[in-house]
Amino acid sequence: MHRLRIAALTALVLGATLPLDLEREARAQPFSDGHAAGGAVRGTVRVLRSLPLLGLRESDDRSGAVVYLTGFVDRSGAQVAYLNQHDERFDPRILPVVAGQTVTFPNRDPIYHNVFSVSANQPFDLGQYKSSDPPRSVVFERAGLVTVYCNIHPQMISYVVVLENGAFAVTDRAGAFAIEAVPPGDYTANAWIPGAQRVSQPVHVEAGGSAAIEFELRQTERIGPHKRKDGSDYPKPRYGDE
């Protein structure tokens, strides 16, 4: 199965848990390439954001939602993915990968960063390094959500969404997505963005065909403060610090 194109754009600021029991969901038969023509899944995602005093309002920026298919396993063809550290931010903020894929974390800043995760799915600590040091990497073996932080800069948050196959895409600003080269079959299509619960629906993919689906995500939760890797609070910024 060909590597799928990720339309990765800037994700929204809100955050929430992702109820991804992907290892259980993906225990369908492994994908076997019988040289059948693949199909496509295309559509849009509406994003409703909870605003103070206004309630839910449709967002003009619908980028950063992950849309992915479950129901088959295919870990072939995954290349190294990159999660950059730049301007004291992670880029991209949301990074879908396939289980078993390597993610490299280059530091593009002239200062130190310390990338880590305390996720039960994939805890790791890359230690401190800066742009002049070789970038460090992690192999994400298990499907699920891994929230990534910097131990020095609390505003740095990213989400590595580890999936069982490469049938995924990330929405653009208009909420549009396209998943290409999908093997024919019946699957579950899922959509998620930080701050919203995952939504799912069945989808049937025919050889050479294109299935159209629509999603609506409600961002009703906000990201809470997190701890450093040792469980302590981040130091409070001093007056004049940016």
Domain boundaries, the chain: 22-63+73-174+203-219
Q: pLDDT band at residue 33, thresholds of 50, 70 and 90?
A: very low
Amino acid at 36: A
Cα→Cα distances 45→18, 110, 139, 152, Å: 17, 37, 30, 34
d(CA 170, CA 156): 20
Q: Is the pLDDT of residue 51 over 90?
A: no
Query: Do residues 105 and 171 lie in contact, with contact meaning Cβ atoms separated by under 8 Å?
Result: no
**Cβ pair 184, 39 in contact under 8 A:** yes
The top-scoring range by mean pLDDT among 6-20, 29-43, 132-146, 228-242 is 132-146
- Tens digits of per-residue pLDDT, 139-162? 999 999 999 999 999 999 999 999
Q: What digits encode the pLDDT tens for the residues 116-125?
A: 999 999 999 9
User: Nearest Cα to 213, choosing from 240, 185, 233, 189?
Assistant: 189
Pick 22-63+73-174+203-219's CATH classification: 2.60.40.420, 2.60.40.3670, 1.10.10.10, 3.90.1150.10.
2.60.40.420
pLDDT at 76: 84
**Tens-digit pLDDT profile for residues 178-220:** 999 999 999 999 999 999 999 999 999 999 999 999 999 999 9
Name the average pLDDT for the chain. Answer: 86
Per-residue pLDDT for 22 more than 80?
no
Would you say 67 and 171 are in contact if contact means Cβ atoms under 8 Å apart? Answer: yes
* Average pLDDT score over residue span 33-41: 72
Confidence of residue 36 (pLDDT cuts 50, 70, 90): low
The answer to whether 179 and 71 are in contact (CB under 8 A) is: no
Total-model pTM = 0.83
Q: What is the DSSP string of 127-144?
A: EEE-TTSPPEEEEE-S-E
CB 12 within 8 A of CB 59: yes
